[in-house]
Structures are given as C-alpha cells and as structure tokens.
C-alpha cells in the first residue's frame, strides 16, 4: 500500500528521495540529483515539476492545479493511456484514459553510476479501470531525472487476442510567452486541426500561436523543439515509438472555462505531446511489447 510511512520505510536508504502528502490522500515523491530536481505524484505517476539547476522550470504546473484523488492535475506530464482523447465507442469513459487518475506503485528507485536517478512505476488497476480495459496487459513507466528528463512507457499484451492502444505523454512545457514561442520540426507533416472541426491540413514552416491550437500531427519523426525567445532557451524533444505529436494550447476563453489555469496561466505553457493517436494507434498482438519514450532537454541561448 502507498502510505507515506510504507514508502518512507521501503525507500529509507534512498537519500535522493523524499515523500510528502501534498494534499489529503495525495502523495508525491521529490527527487534530487546533482543536475535537477523533480516532483512526481503517485497518482498517475504524474511528473509535476522538473527543474534543471540554475534554470527556470521546464515543466509547467498550473498555479491553480488541484490535487485530489481521482482528478487529473493541470500541468506536468499527464499520462494518457490506453486511449487518447475521447474513447472510440464509450462516451462515458474518461477523456485520455484512466491512467492519469489511478494510483501507481513506485516499484524501484535507483541512483545510476552517472548520478541520474531512475524511478520505475506500475499502475494499480482498480475496478473501473478493469471494466474499461478488459484486456490482460502489463505496463511499466520509467522516469529518469538528470541533465535531461527521460520518460519511457511500455505496454505488453499478455492476453490471447490483439488490442488497440492509444497513448500520449501529455507534457506541459513552461515558456515565457506563448505569443512569442514557436514549435519547430513538424513542417511538412499532415495534421488534424480539432479547432477547425477536424480538417486535415499540412504544416508549413514553424508553428506560431495566436489563438486556441489543438492539433494532432501525423507521421512525425521523433524530433522537434520549442523556441522561447523570452526565457531565451530551446527545449528539445526527442522520442521513439511515437508517430504522432499533439500540439495544444487553450488560449483565453477555453482556459477560463477549464478553471484551473490561473490568471493568464495559458500564456506560460504549451503542450507538445509524444503520442500514438488517431491514425497512429498501435495494434499490439499477444506477447508483443510497445515502448514509447521521450527525452526533454533545455538549452539556454547565448
Ligand atoms: C489535448 C487535447 O491533448 O488535451 C485537447 O488535444 C484537450 O483537445 C487537452 O482539451 C486537455 O485535456 P484535459 O482532459 O486534460 O482537459
């Protein structure tokens, strides 16, 4: 069981970790390395913060994020699994799947010889999750905290029939001002524009932002970057096992409606999500494993 006392006892020798209850029934683990610090909620194995030493946070967490059992956190790295967006057939199932709102177990925490720290998580499937995902599968999520932040989500089909898997690392990146930031590396890719009612378009040049943006880029190759002239840095995103990239920012009206962005919070974030969505959902045969991984690195200009 994930009680504070149990975790503190189990990981007593891991002096690079500390545990705290950030809200009733809501435990987070703080990771400190020589390069950066991170906080991860056990619910959803949800990375809430990651900040390299001497830099602004790279991962954005809403100042009005709510920490409550069964509710997803606004910001950080929500895990969308085992579907992305609305469920294909069941409108009542939660958007982006249930992985981000169930408990995960911290299985292992290891300091690597180079000083990075690797945490391994597995989901604890509850009854609702089992009802919504009637497939036998195992899931492992590794988070490696160092000069970079590395995340790897792997799913194995332990069933006797194939299943379809949609997923995303729904990462919120911190930026100085969305109106001046751009996303580079998706030029030439087709995308589905959810703001334009699902129109299929093709990206020409860099992505700049002047309103709500909600797009699924298809056939992406696993390398893009966020250019931020205000914080004077570039965030590099490299990924494997992903063929789609979601770019999302709510802008004023939608952020206000969502109610947990804080005043002008939307100006300080952009989601660039390593995903397998829409045309790129994965069909996993019995015995097969699929791993989707991403690495985030922030490079200061000048
Ligand atoms: C994005 C979707 O990935 O997530 C958007 O493309 C959605 O359509 C956004 O609004 C936020 O979703 P949620 O469920 O975390 O509010």
**Per-residue pLDDT reduced to its tens digit, 32-41:** 999 999 999 9
Domains of the chain: 4-300 (2.70.98.10)
Residue 2 has what pLDDT? 78
Integer angstrom CA distances of residue 207 from 71, 172, 247, 255, 259 = 31, 16, 9, 20, 26
Ligand 1 contact via 215 beta carbon (within 6 Å): no
Beta pairing class for 163-165 and 167-169 = unpaired
**Cβ(43)–Cβ(135) under 8 Å?**
no
Label residue 111 by pLDDT band (50, 70, 90).
Answer: very high
Q: How far is CA 68 from the centre of its chain?
A: 18
Q: What is the rounded average pLDDT of the residues 6-29?
A: 96
For ligand 1, the distance from its centroid to the CA atom of residue 135, given in whole angstroms, is: 25
Sign of CA dihedral 130, 2, 292, 203: positive
More confident residue, 221 or 298: 298
In angstroms, rounded to a whole number, what is the distance separating the alpha carbons of residues 152 and 129? Answer: 21
Label residue 1 by pLDDT band (50, 70, 90).
Answer: low
pLDDT at 4 over 70: yes
In angstroms, rounded to a whole number, what is the distance separating the alpha carbons of residues 298 and 296? Answer: 7
Report the nearest atom of ligand 1 relative to the CA of 216: 6
Q: What percent of the chain has pLDDT over 90?
A: 98
Q: Report the residue among 75, 76, 170 best suited for mutation to probe ligand 1: largest number of ligand atoms under 8 A from its CB.
A: 170
**Residue 299, burial from CB neighbour count under 10 angstroms (0-12, 13-18, 19+):** exposed
Q: What percent of the chain has pLDDT over 70?
A: 100
Residue 102 has what pLDDT? 98
Report the nearest atom of ligand 1 relative to the CA of 74: 15
Ligand 1 contact via 246 beta carbon (within 6 Å): yes
Closest CA to 143 of 296, 15, 252, 299: 296
Q: What is the rounded average pLDDT of the residues 113-136?
A: 98
Q: What is the rounded average pLDDT of the residues 3-11?
A: 96
Q: What angle do CA 67, 46, 48 make, to 5 degrees?
A: 70
Integer angstrom CA distances of residue 265 from 174, 179, 208, 241, 252 = 10, 13, 18, 31, 9
DSSP state of 48: E
Report the nearest atom of ligand 1 relative to the CA of 72: 15
For all residues of the chain together, what is the average pLDDT? 97
List the beta bridge partners of residue 168.
80, 275
Residues with a catalytic annotation lie at 170, 273
pTM: 0.98
């Amino acid at each position: 069981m994930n009680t504070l006392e149990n975790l503190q006892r189990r990981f007593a020798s891991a002096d690079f970790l500390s545990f705290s209850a950030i809200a009733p029934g809501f435990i987070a683990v703080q990771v400190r390395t020589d390069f950066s610090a991170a906080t991860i909620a056990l619910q959803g194995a949800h990375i809430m913060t990651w900040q390299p030493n001497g830099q602004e946070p790279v991962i954005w967490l809403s100042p009005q994020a709510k920490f409550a059992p069964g509710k997803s956190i606004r910001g950080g790295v929500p895990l969308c699994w085992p579907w992305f967006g609305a469920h294909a057939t069941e409108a009542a199932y939660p958007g982006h799947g249930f992985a981000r709102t169930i408990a995960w177990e911290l299985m292992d925490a290891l300091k690597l010889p180079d000083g990075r720290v690797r945490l391994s998580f597995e989901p604890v499937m509850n009854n609702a999750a089992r009802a919504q995902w009637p497939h036998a599968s195992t899931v492992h999520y590794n988070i490696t905290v160092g000069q970079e932040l590395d995340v790897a989500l792997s799913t194995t089909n332990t069933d006797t029939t194939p299943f379809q898997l949609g997923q995303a690392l729904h990462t919120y990146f911190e930026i100085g001002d969305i109106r001046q930031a751009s996303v580079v590396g998706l030029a030439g890719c087709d995308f589905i524009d959810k703001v334009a009612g699902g129109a299929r378009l093709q990206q020409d040049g860099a992505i700049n932002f002047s309103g709500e943006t909600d797009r699924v880029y298809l056939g992406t190759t696993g390398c893009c970057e966020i250019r931020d002239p205000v914080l004077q840095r570039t965030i590099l995103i490299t990924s494997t096992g992903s063929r789609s990239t979601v770019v999302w920012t709510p802008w004023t009206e939608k952020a206000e409606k969502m109610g947990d962005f804080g005043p002008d919070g939307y100006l300080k974030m952009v989601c660039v999500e390593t995903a397998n969505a829409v045309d790129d959902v994965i069909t996993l045969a019995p015995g097969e494993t699929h791993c989707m991984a991403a690495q985030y690195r922030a490079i200061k200009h000048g």
